Amino acid sequence: MTTTLYTLLACLLLAACGSGSDAPAAEAVAVANPSGLSAAQLEHGIGPIEAFEPGPLDAALAERGAEYFKLKCSACHKMDTRYVGPPLATITQTRSPAYIMNMMLNPAEMLEKHPEAKAKLAEFMSLMPNQNLTQDEARAILEYLREQAP
Ligand code: HEC
């Protein structure tokens, strides 16, 4: 009798452990990251630019970036105050270099898929357009934005 009981108990325990042992882990991932993006995409954005370290500030590059910024960005962005889009003075402290460049080079997909970009869209209610920048131009603007950081 006792043997039967123990056997039954063992079966129950096994069944409890065996059933969908990795289901809770998958669920936790889905809850933490409902976007389905990779950790790299969440940190660095979606687009042609992969994570990189920009190195020491290049003043000449930043100066070129300032010119592009005036032409392509200043209609919507100021440094310290909200305008059509968010202020950008501290953007290099809150977003990775690759994220900022992917936002410049691939705004439509960022606004469609990236949770942080979608949140900004919900806040500013206006689509940041693709300015058809080259990667070199976007890199120069990034340098200018780095120079603006307090
Ligand atoms: C027509 C207006 C417009 C232009 C031009 C524009 N942006 Fe934007 N930008 C926005 C808006 C609005 C947002 C917020 C997201 C949204 O609603 O699309 C945004 C978001 C951003 C973000 C993300 C900010 C954050 O906190 O994540 C960056 C970075 C950015 N813009 C940089 C630039 C740069 C650099 C340029 C010039 C190459 C530029 N933008 C040109 C309107 C514009």
Distances (CA, A) of 130 to 5, 84, 108, 138: 69, 15, 7, 12
Q: What is the CA(114)–ligand 1 centre distance, in A?
A: 14
Show pLDDT as tens, one digit a residue, over the chain (150 residues): 454 545 444 444 444 444 444 555 656 655 667 889 999 999 999 999 999 999 999 999 999 999 999 999 999 999 999 999 999 999 999 999 999 999 999 999 999 999 999 999 999 999 999 999 999 999 999 999 999 998
User: CA 127 to CA 93: how far, in whole Å?
Assistant: 23
Q: Which residue among 114, 118, 120, 141 is best mutated to probe the pocket of ligand 1, counting the most ligand atoms within 8 A of its Cβ?
A: 120
So what's the pLDDT on residue 28?
Answer: 61
User: CA 88 to CA 145: how far, in whole Å?
Assistant: 7
So what's the pLDDT on residue 6?
Answer: 52
Q: Give the atom of ligand 1 at the shortest distance from the alpha carbon of 141.
A: 35
User: CA 115 to CA 58: how far, in whole Å?
Assistant: 31
Single-letter amino acid, residue 108: A
Classified by CATH at the fold level, domain 55-150 comes out as: Cytochrome Bc1 Complex; Chain D, domain 2 (1.10.760)
Q: What is the CA(53)–ligand 1 centre distance, in A?
A: 22
Q: What does the domain layout of the chain look like in residue ranges?
A: 55-150
CB 59 within 8 A of CB 121: no
Residues 6 or more apart whose CB falls under 8 angstroms from that of 144 comprise 62, 63, 64, 65, 66, 68, 69
CB 87 within 8 A of CB 81: yes
So what's the pLDDT on residue 81?
Answer: 97
User: CA 40 to CA 49: how far, in whole Å?
Assistant: 11
Tokens of 74: 């200043």
Q: What is the CA(85)–ligand 1 centre distance, in A?
A: 5
